[in-house]
Structure 1
Amino acid sequence: MSGHTGIRRIAAPTLVLVLGATVTGVVAVPNPASAAVPGLVRISAVSASNSNDFRSVTATCPAGKVLIGTGYEVDGATGEVVVDDFTPNGGAAIAPTAVTVGAYEADPFAGNWTVTAYAVCASPLAGLVRVSAAGTTDSNDFHGTTAACPTGKVMTGAGFEIAGATGEAVVDDFTPNGSTVTAPTAVTVGAYEAETFTSNWSLTAYAICANPVPGLVRFTAVSANNSTDSRFVTASCGSGQVLTGTGFEMTGGTGEVVVDDLRPNGSAAIAPTSVTSGAYEEDVFAGNWNLRSYAICATR
């Protein structure tokens, strides 16, 4: 939003500018603050509801807007479905405009379920691009990789993609760096095999990056640590801030717990301000575990 400096008009004979003298009759109106991420909204798209082993859905930003953050939600599976792809489009020289979420059943599951993709969209941000970092391809139980923004850019959102596992690997960590006083610049993604799996597979991390965004920081909230089957935790932005991106971190689950929800609030007409992460044990698991939710936020 652009502002104008207002000047009270005074008859010409009474307005005399004298070098070094105080000028009376001129009232300066400060420029109103501009939003760090103008036009911010949350768009959603939901898949068909059935018992097929795999489904995919893409949430696309409205014309004229770009993708700055992501989210997803699996409904009806309660830990029996694994998000395999959480992929923003775009590239190292192209601003992203959509996110695709793909999910597989971890084991045969007779119930109907859906997957929802969430796109956090805004008016174009300067320097917006999507960068990626692919890990090794092998049959190890754990894979990890970090996507970092180019020097001078900050990270507004992120994504990941598992190739070759088709529901046999679970993302355990989807962790943006940064803090409540430091802008995030990278995301680290870690995944474990849910069951013993002999085929090769790989993991890719995606970072959505832009020129510095006013007030960009990372907030976090953590759940209780115990052995109950499920838990949910919400990370909220600070006062006067809006949500641009999301993340989560599982501690103690090591492939036995599935993050079912990574749900930003808001709507197609309301800017998001928080994200709720939810997780279920994929099979009965006696160990204690907790879930951390991350909210990447900027000045409203």
Structure 2
Amino acid sequence: MSELPMTVRVDGLPDRVTIYEVGPRDGLQNEKALVDTGVKAEFVRRLLAAGLPIVEATSFVHPRWVPQLADAADLMELLGPAGQDCPVLVPNERGLDRALELGARHIAIFGSATETFAQKNLNRSLDEQFAMFEPTVRRARDAGLDVRAYVSMCFGDPWAGAVPVDQVVGVGKRLFDLGASQLSLGDTIGVGTAGHVTALVGGFTEAGMSIDQLAMHFHDTYGQALANTLSALRAGITTYDASAGGLGGCPYAKSATGNLATEDLVWMLTGLGIEHGVDLQQVVDTSVWMAGQLGRPSPSAVVRALAGSD
């Protein structure tokens, strides 16, 4: 049994949130040393067993771009039926074909809020990305799949600098309107702050999107991820992307360090009395195990505190 914070409810916050676990995909994609497929499968199974309702398993991106995820098909086959309910990232129609062959029920597309990152990440212009994604989303929906849309660089871009809120809203809404059920707003390089979060969420709601269509994806590069999460909670957002142990980054943006750690998020939510359904100690144990596989300690403050208190 892990230590847990005292619960003190704060008025105006959601009663329950969904944690969208991205560790196996976003967390591992930037690892230079290849992780064994069996280890990845065990990672997914452990996270599901800890009560995480959604675990994004992998990406069907070309192996040349993300070598770590070249084993996507093997991983999905190893996971079996459980893997079919785990979302997978697909960059284009070819990726969708592979996901469909393996029986995936949930896919995600990954767009950019900025011209520069669209060119570097997608080899497309900001406008051309929509033409690339449109047939992928249409075919996925026609096949009965759920589609999630990520939009990256929502708070800042390492090449372009600050990104205007109305630009992010315009791109995000166009991606969502292709046929997604949810739009995840990514602070890819972790430069967002609490007031910026409030302004961005407000921009989307003013543009006609509802709070339950939005998710937040924070990075902790500047130590702002939990403050930004609290700001988003106050705005009513109820889905948060997180990575077990704080693993992750972006292979195309060197300034993008670890994701918001699942354990740090769970600790805060527990203290606020917000339901999440996740067993904190099981996730901590999983992150300690994965840190052993990777040969370095977890960057998560909660993992370090609880692993050290055993």
TM bin (shorter chain): under 0.3
Higher relative contact order, chain-length normalized (CA < 8 Å, sep 6+): 2
Taking structure 1 as the reference length, what is the TM-score of the superposition?
0.25
Higher strand share: 1
Higher helix share: 2
Q: Which of the pair has more CA radius of gyration?
A: 1
Taking structure 2 as the reference length, what is the TM-score of the superposition?
0.25
